[in-house]
Amino acid sequence: MILPITCLLPVIGGIFIASMKQDAAKRRAVCSALVVATDILLVFALRSRASVTVAVFAENVSMTFRLDGLGRLFAIVAAILYTAVCFYGYEYMQTEEREEIFYAFFFISFGAILSVAMSANLVTMYFCFELLTLTTVPHVLHELTKEAIAAGLKYLFYSIGGALMGLFAVIFIYSCTQGPADFVYGGFVDPKMAAASGTLFLAAIMAGLVGFGTKAGMYPMHGWLPTAHPIAPAPASALLSGIVAKAGVICVIRMIYYSVGPDLIRGTWVQTAWMCLAILTVFMGSMMAFREKIMKKRLAFSTISQISYIMLGLSLLSPEGVRGALLHLMQHAASKGCLFLVAGVFICKLGVRHVDGLKGIGARMPVTMWCFTIASLSLIGIPPLGGFLSKWVIASAALQSAPGVFAYLGPIVLLISALLTAGYLLPVTVDAFFPQITEEGRHGEAAEAVSADALERPAGKKHDAEPSLFMLIPLIALCAVTLAAGLFGTEIVSFFGF
């Protein structure tokens, strides 16, 4: 029973934290104990090989939990990011209201995402996936402003639309199944029943790809990300981009590789459409990020692009493509989580939200800016960081197994996207450390942005010091994860069976 207990502990703790409105020090002590206790329980859960059935609804339709290689990898990545954000938030949330509400839904969503990782079949996964959506909407709504409410509703409506498409795929997959319907690598769908359904079966799978891809920001269901991320608190943005969006990726992997089986869609129009959408999203997200001036919105567009690297690797329907996708999942969770947390430092300590307001910041916050730079280099794909290894594996897999023109189009778009990523991240570092070699005067839109940021700076705060260790240590730790993903990523995914 350790699997459901591991998921329930943070949920119960989050409900308790919601009642702790007055004593901030006591609340943070409880949060620290709770996140550490959850991590310890997870360590023991990772050793479990048992399946735990909580409820049976019909034949082959049950609420069952089990950890396999994919679930273990995803749960560990989630735990690392949630732990880092938990401690980071102690200082950041001092500038926000309703800290107890933030941490309440923080822990409830932690339990939800662990349950997604531990799901043993499509029904359990779908239920936990929906629970994750409902428990992360409050993060977007946190400020309760008109803009926050609009962004939260947009996130919710997009998620509901995607979930309905995903549900259609889940129902159709069960209708083409005989015997057990628990996840097994290679799939459990009966090929004869799928072939009898013909085009309708492929249409259902395509609907599932688009539906679950909504959470991952894949075109055309990407619109919620650039709206929700800038309005949410920075710790919430780090979670939404770093791990919550990856839940959609995990659902896609479970549907294609553990339920349908890649052989049933390889060479079909579904694979072609999937690859087209992934490549389009990679290019579109990079272009939009390149043009954006608000830091968190730039990072949101970057997330749209970067997660579609994962989708591109998966759409190749090859073991090497899956390996590259999982490598990118690991490194992107750490590097993009780090970047959003750095953006939170700029907001919390300086009141700066626009990239044009960061000139000379490197002299005042060198450690913070070095963390930003390392995470940026990983996203660009500079060795020995994780982004280089994952992009190399995905590009190599495309050259080996992608059909027709996609064998060359995929790597070309990845290269163009890497150049655009350098174009929208490296100038921030150059401006921060070498302001004297950039344009001296600001004018037009840049002047307005800097003026607006200056007005937002909290009065009476010191603006020339690094943040506390509560903020710095999580940043450094996430940078270390990106380095480890680059140096040992192949060994890590091989350890989990990929």
Q: How far is CA 491 from CA 68, 222, 235, 387, in A?
A: 17, 32, 30, 15
10-residue stretch averages of pLDDT, the chain, 498 residues long = 92 89 84 95 92 86 92 96 95 86 94 96 95 93 89 92 93 88 90 88 94 89 85 91 93 95 92 95 92 91 93 95 95 95 90 87 90 95 93 94 90 93 93 72 42 40 69 95 94 93
Q: Measured between alpha carbons, how far is 466 from 91 in angstroms, rounded to an integer?
A: 12
Looking at residue 464, what is its pLDDT?
56
Looking at residue 437, what is its pLDDT?
63
Q: Are 432 and 360 in contact (CB under 8 A)?
A: yes
Looking at residue 438, what is its pLDDT?
54
Question: What amino acid occupies position 38?
Answer: T
Q: Which of 307, 217, 258 is nearest to 498 (CA)?
A: 258
Q: Measured between alpha carbons, how far is 325 from 70 in angstroms, rounded to an integer?
A: 12
